[in-house]
Amino acid sequence: MRESQPEAAAPDYLKAAGADLNCFIEEMVARQPGPVVVTSTRELVTPTDAVFDVTDGAEVRRRLEDMADFSKAGESNDKPGGLVFNWLHDGPAPRDAGAGVSIRGTLTLTSTELFSFCLSQERMDALTALLEERLGSLVRLKISRRTPLKAPVAKTEGPEKDVLPKELEAQIIGKHLDEHYRRWPDLPVPALRGLTPRQAVADPATRPLLDELLKDFENSEERQSRDGRPVYGIARLRAELFRGEPAGPAAEKIMEIALTPKQYKALVNLVYMGDWLANSLRDPADIVKEYRDVSELVYSRAKDAGLEAYVEKDMEPVLEPHIEEYDEENFWEKLESRLSARDLERQFGREAVSKMSLEEYFKNLRAHEERYAEAFEKNGLSNLVLK
């Protein structure tokens, strides 16, 4: 254009060749490869679902509930009578620190079919192989389908969107741990030479192995608790298995107390409030573990007294009014006492107060406390201001 119109400027060129430039840009963009959506484990996102025939739905459910890498999530919304299980990452899942638990896929079990869903073909292949290995003839693959994404929008650099919020994570993991460890004492454990933990307690040769295994669990829980992650409370498991018997060769003498269910409930209430007083304001890493372990030991016998539901669900709301009443009374008492002690020193001086007899000290202190008690009862905190 400069050859034919030397005086032309850039705007003139853009005006004359705008249409051609637009076509050129669109063609270059079309030649660029589209963005790719991948999972947190760098697999191409290809939503995949499969359907298995089930020969015994009740047995499949029992086995899934016993597997540590599956967590029951509740009833299905779209398949009447179906149960949903989450397939969890077995081992450290690729994630940002603190992002939450990662789910590899989901299962929906009905009485005759098992429906599975994963975000990639690789995951579905792994899940299918896992189910066929663990469930054997109970399931048979009927159909597997992939649904390629039509319009991928971005490549993920961080964790995928199947990461749960922290609150929901704690609820799911807590429920999963409760269900898993409730069945664990009756499951064969390779580390116990194939015996169940209950059998290992009664076997002198295997009993020390069980003790060491529980110690490993307790050490792992202590680290998890320091990291703010939910834990089960292995002390409860130890108490259930050993039933008050010493677990190690150098254990202390065991005491036994006979209680009626009514007395046991009162003991549970006292233990809960005592542990609350000692540990409720502490960070997880700083709790008084001796008190917490005893609490878990007492709670572990709730089933024997028919109070399992009370300890797990009802105890805290029942005792909350007592704790609130204590907090309320303690607040006013401490406030009146500390303000009165301050005013006493202002009135007589610190040295004179230190030389008072106990009788004289409390007589003068009560005079100030009565004044504050009357003022707070009448006006609350409305007249308490900083100057």
Looking at residue 245, its pLDDT comes to 53
Give the CATH number of domain 48-163; options: 1.20.1070, 3.30.160, 3.30.67, 3.30.310. Answer: 3.30.310
Per-residue pLDDT tens over the stretch 266-312: 999 999 999 989 988 888 888 888 888 888 888 888 888 899 889 88
Using DSSP, state whether 172 is helix, strand or coil: helix
Per-residue pLDDT tens over the stretch 18-50: 556 555 555 554 554 545 556 666 777 778 888
Using DSSP, state whether 383 is helix, strand or coil: coil
Q: Is residue 239 packed enough to be buried (19+ CB in 10 Å), middle (13-18) or exposed (0-12)?
A: buried
Helix pair angle (315-348, 261-279), 10° resolution = 50
CB distance 108 to 114 below 8 Å = yes
Sign, CA torsion 139/141/142/145: positive
Please, which pLDDT band fits residue 114 given cuts at 50, 70 and 90? very high
